[in-house]
Amino acid sequence: MKLRQPTDFLILEALEEKGRNVATNLAEHTGKSRKNINTRLPVLEDYGLVEKIGPAERSGLYEITSLGKAALVYRDQYDEVDDFEALIEGPNAGDLENAGEAQASFARGENDDEADE
């Protein structure tokens, strides 16, 4: 998996924050050209980070996948590991949704243990 930084992560961020979207809007949200976005979306889809959705085959509507959300969680480690794909798929691949939520609640200072005391 070879991602282009920061473009690919900006696309993933925009899809996570704004929800499913098309290249024109993603270009506006990321500050990148629509041509650049249109080039990267199929690559991100091949990697399983985004998924093309919509009733029409050529709708151009994309949404982030759970693997794409994992890539955002581990983005700081992208340059530090040899196999980023293995990192984000990892042994706990089924727990990716929960990992992102747990990390977010930790960042907000929430702690489930305190509620039990």
This prediction has a pTM of: 0.72
pLDDT classification of 113: cutoffs 50, 70, 90: low
* Statement: residue 61 has pLDDT above 50: yes
- DSSP character for 50? E
Kindly give, in sequence order, each residue whose CB lies less than 8 Å from that of residue 41, ignoring residues fewer than 6 positions away: 11, 23, 26, 50, 52, 62
* Statement: residue 112 has pLDDT above 60: no
pLDDT exceeding 90 applies to what percent of the chain?
Answer: 48
* Statement: residue 24 has pLDDT above 60: yes
Cα 22–Cα 90–Cα 30 angle in degrees, nearest 5: 25
DSSP alpha helix (H) spans, the chain: 7-18, 23-30, 34-46, 66-73, 84-89, 96-107, 112-116
Q: Which residue has the higher pLDDT, 35 or 82?
A: 35
Residue pair 68/15 in contact by the 8 Å Cβ criterion: yes
**Sequence ranges of the domains in the chain:** 7-109
- Which CATH code is given to the segment(s) 7-109? 1.10.10.10
